[in-house]
Amino acid sequence: MQVLSRAAARDGVLRRALRAVYEEIDASAGAGELPSPAALLLGAEPPGGRELARGPVGLAQVAHYGAAVAWQRVLAGRYGPPDALLAVSFGELAALTAAGAWTVGAGARAAYGLARVLARTPGGLTLIGCGEARAAELAVRAGGGRVAVGCVNSPRECVLGGPPDRLAAVERLAADQGLSAVRLHLPFGSHHPELGRQRGEFEEVLRGGPPIGPTAVPVYSAVAGRRYTPADDLAARAADCLVRPAHLPRILALLAAHGHTDYHEAGPGSALGRNAADCLRGTGARVHGAAGEGTGREGTGREEAEEKEAEEKEAEGEGVGGAGTEGKGTERAHGRAGAVTGRGVRTVAETDEMTAGRALGELLHGRHHPGRLPRLHRALARHPYRVAEAAAEREPYLYRRLRALLRALPAAAELHADPDGLAAALAWAAVADPRLGMTVVTQSVLGQGSLLRLAGAPGDVGPELGAVDAGDLRIGYLVTEAGRASSHLGAGTVAEFRPERREFVLRTAEEADVKFGGVPQYPGPRGAVVIARAVDAAGRAGGVFAFLVRLADHDGPRPGVLLSPPVPVGALPLSYHRVRFDGVRVPEAHWLRDDAGLDAHGHLHDPRTPEDRLRRTLAVGQDLWGVLPTALAALARQSAVLAVRHSRHRETRAALAPGTPLLAHRSQQRALLGALADAFALSCAAARARELLTAARESDAAGAESGFAPWAAVSRPLSAYKAHCADEAERIIAECQRRCGHAGLADGNRLAGYHGFARSFDPAGGDSRLIRYDLGRALLAEAGPGGPPPVPARLGDPGWWPAVLARHQHTLTGRLRRATAERDRGGATPFEVWNPLLDRAAELGATYAARLAAEDLPRALAALPPDGATDALAHLAALRAADRAAGDLLRHRTLAPGELAGLENALERGYDRLLPHLEQVERAFAFPDDIVLPEGFPSSRPEGPKTPSGPEFPE
């Protein structure tokens, strides 16, 4: 804090702002019984950070909170009101105050209450000089499962949290590897999943004070990873700082995507500014020191050296709450659009079309560093799409496209750590070439995902991960056994352990156990993650595990691997084979053992039950379920765009209106405007699936009990999204195909490939019918008392359709419960009870999934700036879904006929409402022409200037 005092001594404006803020705190009793921070910090001999920390509990936190609020006032006076505020860790309190959500005194009371909670919080924090992936690896290797990455400050700096003894082990390992690791001078932990009780206490503190109102300035949270919306419970979100990590690079990438490129640090030091500059290097963004007036990173020379020296002497991370943010509460973010005036750079209004377009792009494509999507675009445009009928032509072509794509992507560990990035890679690859998209699914999502999730130690499969990243090794994923239904539940392929060589021997026991899946034919090293049942040296069968198996090299299949001739699959032409194993040797290191192990005698020790082991082995499926909806939504949007363009340009010779384009006909408008609306709803569901995947990875909670299949136990909502989105995408694309006539069937136009990709995920990636069966059974088992929410009276109410589906789910649950109870009398077996009721269970599961997706529409709209196009899309999508379900709703008496009165007229008004926005929606939904332009389909309207055909992404 001596840095702050020296700055105040030099700067009269800052000194007056500090005094005013601290006096507001004193007047409101916001700091409890603490001495006045103003008397201490603005006196003749201000205390240092460590002296302040040794004072009464809460004094340091309140002092830092007030300093951040005062500094933000100074910045607003010098440069104009901020366009946005970035809250890092417990800088949330100062940011919410600066944004007008509560008073200075209320924020100080929150900071004081937080300090009292932290005083009873166990743990510690260590600043480590490496990136997130390596920090996480160190935490896993030396942290004993108790150390977590709490803050990602930059690509080269993280903060780890956990018990002090575990942190000491991590610090020793880091030192052995030549990495800097410094224990922060803080007697508590934070940003750690074990602090749930403390999080609850802090939330109670916040709810016991004045209510947190709406923000007058957009607030971006490094903990939430997004901009707050009016729907957010800000007390709960601020309390999340105790248990969730703060990720500065990710939130800065989002700010950059929203056009904010000019940053001012609201605090006395420069640590946060240095981290921000490191994150934004090469993007053209400017990061200013708190007192800097010029461009670029400010504060050079003797004063900056003094500041840095003082910071290093003070307690690192002593900020508002002190959770590894070096005490910086808020950052000021300016947009790059607008004019330079006497008060600095101003953005356009948040409701400006450019901002709305950026927000919609984030919904559709995810949040990314500004350079990520342009790199994908360039890689996919490098090899134009072509139909290669023969495998001899197709395989080299796909291999070239795959290598170009891999060069544009980060390493597997980094890619899998970012659900938005993984989803974008899959979506863009599938849109450019659905065969390439399927290759990304099997190799990157499932194959590499299994290696990253399940390897016993990171080094066991490190060389193979690197070879796949470089394109030198291609891998697939073999789980299905051709001769049995639901083969994943009881893999017949066995892996027998041989202790003398410390290796497994893989065997196909019976003909029915032959694996079926994609195995590239292109010469070179090829492998697969194979799902098999482990058998230890004593002959005891263990659970179902994954094994990394080398299938072929430059000379062909390896010893013991028998590949059938290629199995033609017309819907998605790739190299599919039946694969038999006859004594294939697999090194112990390539047993993806997770937390199981083998002792010196070859006896298997697994801490999990067979059911739980199966869930763990197949948990890579939740990665697929989290990112696949983004690809399916992208295919649906692009299909609708292709069909709209085709219909706009194709004239009809029909007698009714010769010479008019197809799109002028109302029947075609209903189909294709409806396809655009349905694709938008699918995109909202996909965005929610990405969020759920992030949350599922963070929680790593134990799965529920398995039912008919393990899918709902692995992740109930994500499995529901997979089944729902695959079904919806197939329906949307099929309708677009039909509306394009013969052109929709031509391979070169991709619609057939898009349809084949979507259709393949009915059985693939977890059979959708089994998922629905299992969802229905699980929902029935957990159904409690109480009824559904009331249904709004107006069809146009955003909550109407979600409420109808909630009521329908309640109706179907009661019907199924009565049916199972009736059949369960008299000692019937589970098969006798459920066999005639499986379709009813599937109907319940499908309704649950549809309800989740319906709730995503209003949720997505709340996070988007007001816009006529998106409002029209969401309104029409809800009405169309209700129209498709009307028969079932009436049949089960969920709704009375009168409650659907006016639906047809509302639909017609919905089409009319969307029609004026058609070109805007088309521009937002279309991918760039050079990766999707098909044969015979126009890229834009012939009249007038060329309409951009894809989203505009900054280089």
Question: Residue 288: which pLDDT band, with cuts at 50, 70 and 90?
Answer: confident
How many residues does the structure list for the chain?
955
What residue type is 703 in one-letter code? G
Per-residue model confidence as pLDDT tens digits over 620-650? 888 999 999 999 999 999 999 999 999 988 8
**Is a pLDDT exceeding 80 seen at residue 460?**
yes
Per-residue model confidence as pLDDT tens digits over 544-597? 999 999 999 988 899 999 998 888 787 777 888 899 999 999 999 999 999 999
Whole-number pLDDT of residue 525 = 92
d(CA 134, CA 142): 12
**Is a pLDDT exceeding 90 seen at residue 90?**
no
Q: Which ranges in 700-799 belong to alpha helices (H)?
A: 711-714, 716-739, 751-760, 768-782
Which tokens sit at 726? 């695959």
**Is a pLDDT exceeding 50 seen at residue 110?**
yes
Whole-number pLDDT of residue 837 = 93
Whole-number pLDDT of residue 455 = 92
Whole-number pLDDT of residue 296 = 39
Whole-number pLDDT of residue 623 = 92
What is the separation, in whole angstroms, between the first and last Cα of the chain?
40
Whether 387 contacts 748, CB under 8 Å: yes
Question: Residue 940: which pLDDT band, with cuts at 50, 70 and 90?
Answer: very low
Per-residue model confidence as pLDDT tens digits over 734-778? 999 999 998 888 888 889 999 999 999 998 888 899 999 999 998
Instruction: Name the average pLDDT for the chain.
Output: 82
Most confident of the ranges 200-204, 206-210, 722-726? 722-726
Q: What sign has the CA pseudo-torsion 791, 792, 795, 800? A: negative
Whole-number pLDDT of residue 1 = 52
d(CA 615, CA 622): 10
Query: Mean pLDDT over residues 799-814, rounded?
Result: 93
Query: Mean pLDDT over residues 161-165, rounded?
Result: 92
Closest CA to 266 of 94, 490, 28, 22: 94
Residue that the structure tokens 């030099």 belong to: 10
- Reported as type and span, the H/E element at residue 494 is strand 494-498
CA atoms within 13 A on the CB side of 429: 31
Question: Residue 380: which pLDDT band, with cuts at 50, 70 and 90?
Answer: very high
Per-residue model confidence as pLDDT tens digits over 827-874? 788 888 889 999 999 999 999 999 999 999 998 988 888 888 999 999
Q: By mean pLDDT, which of 205-219, 678-692, 799-813 is the weakest?
A: 205-219
* C-alpha separations of 59 from 6, 31, 109, 113 in Å: 19, 8, 11, 11
- 577 bridge partner residues: 517
High-pLDDT (> 90) share of the chain, %: 45
User: What would you measure as the largest C-alpha separation in the chain, in angstroms?
Assistant: 93
**Is a pLDDT exceeding 90 seen at residue 450?**
yes
Question: Residue 783: which pLDDT band, with cuts at 50, 70 and 90?
Answer: low
Question: Can you give the pTM of this predicted structure?
Answer: 0.66
**Is a pLDDT exceeding 90 seen at residue 170?**
yes
Angle between helices 419-432 and 620-649 (to 10 degrees): 40
Whole-number pLDDT of residue 763 = 87
Residue 537: CB atoms within 10 Å: 16
d(CA 487, CA 581): 16
Whether 953 contacts 256, CB under 8 Å: no
What residue type is 382 in one-letter code? R
* C-alpha separations of 536 from 307, 312, 508, 554 in Å: 62, 55, 16, 32
Whether 150 contacts 246, CB under 8 Å: yes
- Reported as type and span, the H/E element at residue 29 is none
Q: What sign has the CA pseudo-torsion 870, 871, 876, 881? A: positive
Question: Residue 50: which pLDDT band, with cuts at 50, 70 and 90?
Answer: low
* DSSP tag of 442: I
Whole-number pLDDT of residue 627 = 96
d(CA 623, CA 737): 30
High-pLDDT (> 70) share of the chain, %: 82
Query: Mean pLDDT over residues 33-37, rounded?
Result: 67
Q: What are phi and psi of 515, to 5 degrees?
A: -75, 150
